[in-house]
Structure 1
Amino acid sequence: MSQPSEARPTRGPDAESRAWLAGLRADGARGEDARHRLHDLLLRAARFEIGRRRGSLPHLRGGDLDDLAHQSADDALLAILAKLDGYRGESRFTTWAYKFALLEAAVKLRRRAWQGREVPLEPEHWAVLAGPEASPAASAESRDLLAAIAAAIETELSAHQREVLVAITLNGVPIDVLAERLNTTRGALYKTVHDARGKLRAHLADAGLRFENETIEAGA
């Protein structure tokens, strides 16, 4: 009879990471120094990510981009300090922290790209659901499926589910931009889209229709 394998011991933070944690939790000058050093690291990460994505915002000048980098580093630092207890040491602390700055920079760039733009909550082109050109028979089938989806969106979803699904899936609004405009969270919007897609799938299944591909996908 085989013996159950022993569970591998959980690997904790390395010495450098433990030093970071101790410094960030410290009071006085030691804590201030640790937070300052971490902010410098986060600022470098944010500048890297913004530089990598700057082509998406060609109208922004260097000063605007650097301001976004500082905002990203500031917000990343606050998020990290609030989540220190969640760091488990599965990677180096600096690697774990670096990702916060990358995320903040990406989110701020997407929001800046949509600044001053109207967020479309109504479908601009239902045809985007139909997919690429196909044979006449397949096109007819796609039109039937498209009509069924459009009707289900109108009749089976709540007004909120319809607005969120249309904005994210059909009109390409980034989910963090929509979360900001609707004063909600990404998680809440993901759940709304998930529930809406579930309703649509169930309705279409009852009607004897099914997807050959993932016709409705949530954006991120």
Structure 2
Amino acid sequence: MVESLPQTRSVSAEAAAENRAWVSDLSSTGDRRELASRRLYDVLLRAARSEAGRRAARLRLAGPELDDIAHQAAADALLAICGKVETFRGDCKFTTWAYKFVIFDVGAKVNRHFWQRAGVAFDEEDWERLPARLGVGPEAHAESRDLMAAVRRAVDETLTAKQRTVFVALVLNGMPTDVLAEQLGATQNAIYKTMFDARRKLRTALIAAGYLQEHQPA
């Protein structure tokens, strides 16, 4: 039997009643649980489609491919929520709590798709942010167009496939290290080491091309 959720000041009486209904229905069995799961899936799918659409432009994702990511994220989030429903404390709307699961799942799946998909093209805006993310000083930005071209060549020509995967995911796509490690089946220390080696190679290439000084960090 599901215990009553504590009353909190952060939700209205109506929201608290709705929260209790969600928890009770999803904690039950048979048709009652099935119907609640279907209702929640529809809610999660709408949120997943919205979040996937927001993230997809830079990856050129659209149509069935994008919708598949949304469906997968909604399904995985539903399983996670049903497994943890009795941990819901009731200090926000139940759907707000549920959205956190599906948004995380969309992010993980989009990021996984990002590094698995061959030939992803990056916007100019991505590369324009790259020198600052590499720690290139403002004095080098006077030749920023040539610098970006040099960095692009260095990424393509000097990094291994694994180093490019890690570099692109962390630096260009802003993927969290722990998420990337999970997706690659690696430890965070291994990801840090790969990124360190990639940065060192890029620094060496930029020094050789005359864009950095020996003492200037990359």
Q: What is the aligned partner in structure 1 of residue 109 from structure 2?
A: 108
Paired residues for 1:88-127 under 5 Å: 88-116=89-117
TM superposition shift of 1:82 = 1.8
Provide, for residues 182-210 of structure 1, a one-character-per-residue CA deviation record: whole Å limited to 9, x for no partner.
256xxxx39x96xxxxxxxxxxxxxxxxx
Kept in 1, the 8 Å contact 2:7–2:90? The answer is no
Letter in 2 for 1:182: G
Match for residue 180 of structure 1 among 183, 186, 193? 183
TM-score w.r.t. the length of structure 1 is: 0.55
Paired residues for 1:73-88 under 5 Å: 73-88=74-89
Q: What is the CA–CA distance in structure 2 between the aligned matches of 1:35 and 1:24, rounded to whole Å?
A: 7
Q: What is the CA–CA distance in structure 1 between the aligned matches of 2:117 and 2:77, rounded to whole Å?
A: 25
Q: What is the CA–CA distance in structure 2 between the aligned matches of 1:88 and 1:66, rounded to whole Å?
A: 31
Letter in 2 for 1:132: G
The structure with more helix, counted as a fraction of residues: 2
TM superposition shift of 1:93 = 0.3
Cα 1:169–1:24 shift into 2, 3 Å: closer
Does residue 19 of the first structure (1) align with residue 16 of the second (2)?
Answer: no
TM superposition shift of 1:31 = 0.6
Q: Identical aligned pairs, as a percentage?
A: 41
Q: What is the CA–CA distance in structure 2 between the aligned matches of 1:71 and 1:111, rounded to whole Å?
A: 13
Q: What is the CA–CA distance in structure 1 between the aligned matches of 2:17 and 2:180, rounded to whole Å?
A: 39
TM superposition shift of 1:133 = 3.0
The alignment yields a C-alpha RMSD, in angstroms, of 3.8
TM-score w.r.t. the length of structure 2 is: 0.56
- What SS does the aligned partner of 1:103 have? helix
> Structure 2: which 5+ runs fail to align?
1-5, 10-14, 120-129, 141-162, 193-216
Kept in 2, the 8 Å contact 1:11–1:89? The answer is yes
Letter in 1 for 2:57: G
> Structure 1: which 5+ runs fail to align?
1-8, 119-124, 136-162, 194-214
Does residue 65 of the first structure (1) align with residue 70 of the second (2)?
Answer: no
- The structure 1 segments of at least 4 consecutive aligned residues displaced by more than 3 Å after TM superposition are 127-131, 166-173
Kept in 2, the 8 Å contact 1:114–1:177? The answer is no
